[in-house]
Amino acid sequence: MSKMFLARQKIVNTNGKTFAYELLFRDSSERIKKLPSDIKATSTVMLNSLTHIDLDELLGKEGTAFINVDSEIIESDVLELLDPKRFVIEILENVQLTPVLYDKIVSLKKKGYKIALDDFDCSQEMLKNFLPLLKYLNVIKIDALSVNKDNLKKLIPRFRAAGIKLLIEKIENPKEYLYYKELGFDLFQGYHIGRPESFEFDSIQDPIEVIILKLVSIIKTDKETTEIEKFIKLRPDLSYNIIKFINNQNETKEKISSIIQAVTLMGRDSLLRWLMIYLYAQISGNEFSLPLLQAAVLRAETMEESASRENKEEAFLVGMFSMLDTLFNANIKDVFKGLNLSPAISNALLYKTGELGKGLTEAIQIEKDYFKEIFLANFHKINPADVIIAFEKNNIDY
């Protein structure tokens, strides 16, 4: 598994209590990554916070997070994947408010999302651009380093009358903190309040873009759920991450026992937006993973074919997930840690117990016998040392 990093920076109220966090993308435990576009940074933060990290651990049980968005993210509709109770949509200061963007933002507001405006400098230009949004804003963030203080003092009563909370960011010393507190600011952010905290976590390889694009096309053309299932079955890593996403979003914590169940729980709209985030984030893939993926699908089909009628769906998942530890180069217990699978699937994968575990053992043995037969038939063509190493690596007696 590769390592990825996310940072959070505290936002406090006038009593010094944590009000929320701003989420930031990093490429190491210390350094914020410079990404080619805001949409890539935002989608990567969204992907990781939605899929790979427990939000309760990151934000606290009822904590909220500010997440930066540009016009492209707003127009893409992926923001509706976010829980409006946990995320504040923070519009970047360089966004030009068009009629289309205005309608999208108003729609988000009506769906319960809180809206913030980033780095407002109180200039006439910015005020003119964002004036139509004032009645929909929950928070305006003011940059202490770039704000026109004279204009700010004139605008504070107007913001107050609109019911907008004022957040001052880049507060670096007690003097600045007291100054803006006396001006009537509600929220505070900056090095004086707290430096960004970095979090390290495992990031699973992503599916190839071709598969995702085909799947997006199927969803958009309203194909049957079985057609969606067929494509997801081609990518065990995709199935794995979909279930991880569902685990983080599913309050009932329903046990997952089939791909159709996972897709149904997720819903087509959420699945489509989640896939779009994958495409935007463009986390690197592994060009050597294809043979493993193909082998996993073959094993899954073998198990599905030999399983009893009531266990076919679960058997397929067991076969497909059984190679993820090799695919992700990680201990299988780490791969499935926190993944909300049914006990029958988990026990089969981790301990090879139960009917599904027996089926997995038999499928692996069939592969070993075939592997051994191929090698022995071609023994005279191959270096014996290579054969021995291959047998030992795959736990095959010779």
**Residue 275, both tokens:** 């896939």
247 three-class SS? helix
pLDDT of 49 reads: 65
Residue 273 pLDDT exceeds 50: yes
Name all domains of the chain by residue range, CATH numbers in brackets.
2-202 (3.20.20.450), 204-373 (1.10.3210.10)
Higher pLDDT among residues 203 and 22, named by residue? 22
The dihedral formed by the CA atoms of 334, 340, 342 and 346, expressed in degrees to the nearest 10? 0
pLDDT of 382 reads: 66
Residues with Cβ < 8 Å from 37, sequence gap 6 or more?
A: 70, 72
pLDDT of 107 reads: 93
* 32: β partners: 26
pLDDT of 19 reads: 96
Highest mean pLDDT, choosing among 68-72, 174-178, 243-247, 379-383: 174-178
Work out whether strand 18-26 and strand 2-13 pair parallel, antiparallel, or are unpaired: antiparallel
- For residue range 167-220, list pLDDT tens digits in order: 999 999 999 999 999 999 999 999 999 998 887 766 544 445 546 656 765 775
Higher pLDDT among residues 68 and 217, named by residue? 68
Mean pLDDT of 62-82: 83
Residue 116 pLDDT exceeds 80: yes
Which residues of 53-196 form beta strands (DSSP E)?
A: 65-69, 87-91, 114-120, 139-143, 165-169, 187-188
pLDDT more than 70, % of the chain:
71
CB 98 within 8 A of CB 132: no
Where residue 318 falls among pLDDT bands split at 50, 70, 90?
A: confident
Higher pLDDT among residues 302 and 232, named by residue? 302
Residue 66 pLDDT exceeds 50: yes
Which has the minimum average pLDDT: 138-147, 152-161, 290-299? 290-299
Residue 103 pLDDT exceeds 70: yes
Where residue 341 falls among pLDDT bands split at 50, 70, 90?
A: confident
Which has the minimum average pLDDT: 5-14, 121-130, 179-188, 310-319? 310-319
CB 65 within 8 A of CB 23: yes
Higher pLDDT among residues 153 and 57, named by residue? 153
Higher pLDDT among residues 304 and 337, named by residue? 304
pLDDT of 52 reads: 61
Mean pLDDT of 84-93: 92
CB 115 within 8 A of CB 163: no
Count Cα atoms within 13 angstroms, Cβ side, for 46: 32
Higher pLDDT among residues 9 and 398, named by residue? 9
pLDDT of 162 reads: 92
Residue 214 CA to residue 100 CA, distance in Å, equals 28
pLDDT of 220 reads: 58
pLDDT of 282 reads: 42
pLDDT of 289 reads: 53
Residue 118 pLDDT exceeds 80: yes
Mean pLDDT of 64-92: 85
Where residue 50 falls among pLDDT bands split at 50, 70, 90?
A: low
Where residue 257 falls among pLDDT bands split at 50, 70, 90?
A: confident
Where residue 333 falls among pLDDT bands split at 50, 70, 90?
A: confident
Residue 221 pLDDT exceeds 70: no
pLDDT of 362 reads: 94
Residue 39 pLDDT exceeds 60: no
CB 171 within 8 A of CB 180: yes
CB 147 within 8 A of CB 119: no
Quote the pTM value: 0.61
Residue 345 CA to residue 364 CA, distance in Å, equals 16
